[in-house]
Chain A
Amino acid sequence: MSILDVVTLILLLAGSFFMLVASIGMIRLPDFYTRMHAGGKADTLGQGLIFLGLVVYEGFSFISLKMLIIFVFIFIANPTATHAVAKAAYKGGLKIWSRDNNDSG
């Protein structure tokens, strides 16, 4: 195994870990808004790390360039989408969960 393979492996594993955390967060967190935190952040970094891992594996080529472009788009699109969904929920009148009124959770 060359050093690049090791770097790829570490990046892919870290990316998978954050994707897993995002999924667990979706199930465990109590309400919509807190789930957005898991979906909006852990997903972004998880996908980002997986793409970076693939770029390192591929080396410098057209394919890795395209993957870098996808990586940039995800970094712009994911928080924007999170914001759009959160705004829709807020406009729809969804109350936030807190320790005091946790009956809705």
Chain B
Amino acid sequence: MKFILTFIALLIFWFMLSGHFSVIIVTSAVIYALIAAYFTYNYFLEDISFAGIKRIFKFIAYLPWLFWEIIVANLQVAYIVLSPKMPISPELVETETDLKTDYGKTALGNSITLTPGTVTIEIENSKILVHAITKEHAQDIKNKDIEKKILRIEA
């Protein structure tokens, strides 16, 4: 089941990229999708269930907030970089996370990197090490706003 879904997804992706439907291209699409699906179907879909599909929609609902934070982050970086005094006070922050899945931790790490003033340095088991560019941003990480949002998706 996983294998077939992966195969179909890869096939759709191929046709999205190529846009051609001659015999030779369709044949090679099927062959390559079969090969690629064989190697990746265990990683591509972790679980196919109603909860898993619901999680995808929750994640999509999370994206607008993330985009807004990214724009704020960029304006702050622009301000810091362009102001003559350069108001920075870098700091390393270590926090714990309650997230269980690898997908959740990846989403958290990348969200931290993209949101204002913070870059994820390391995630090991449940420990996260973050570099914050100012003291205020270090405080934001300690408040765990992002983590709470992702926890709600994972649940």
Which of A's residues lie within 8 Å of B, judged by CB?
17-18, 21-22, 24-25, 28-31, 33-34, 36-38, 40-42, 44-45, 62, 65-66, 69, 75-76, 79-80, 82-83, 86-87, 90, 96-99
Contact = CB atoms under 8 A, between A and B. Distances in A.
Tell me whether chain A's interface is mostly helix, strand or loop, or mixed. Answer: helix
A65 B81 contact: no
B82 interface: yes
B45 interface: no
Interface in B92-140: 92, 106, 109-110, 113-114, 117, 119-122, 129, 131, 133
A76 B113 CA distance: 11
A66 to B, nearest CB: 6
A45 B131 contact: no
Contact of B74 (A18, A96, A98, A99): A18
B121 A41 contact: no
Interface residues of B, number: 31
Interface stretch (B1-9, B27-35, B49-57, B83-91): B83-91
B115 to A, nearest CB: 8
B71 A33 contact: no
B36 interface: no
B73 interface: yes
B95 to A, nearest CB: 15
A36 B131 contact: yes
B74 to A, nearest CB: 5
B64 interface: no
A40 B110 CA distance: 10
- The 3 tightest CB contacts between A and B, nearest first, are A79-B113, A25-B81, A79-B110
27 contacts: A18-B74, A21-B74, A21-B77, A21-B82, A24-B81, A25-B77, A25-B80, A29-B86, A33-B90, A33-B121, A33-B131, A34-B88, A37-B133, A41-B74, A41-B77, A41-B114, A42-B74, A44-B70, A66-B16, A75-B114, A76-B110, A79-B114, A83-B119, A86-B119, A90-B122, A96-B91, A97-B90
Given A29-B81, A42-B74, A79-B110, A66 B90 contact: no
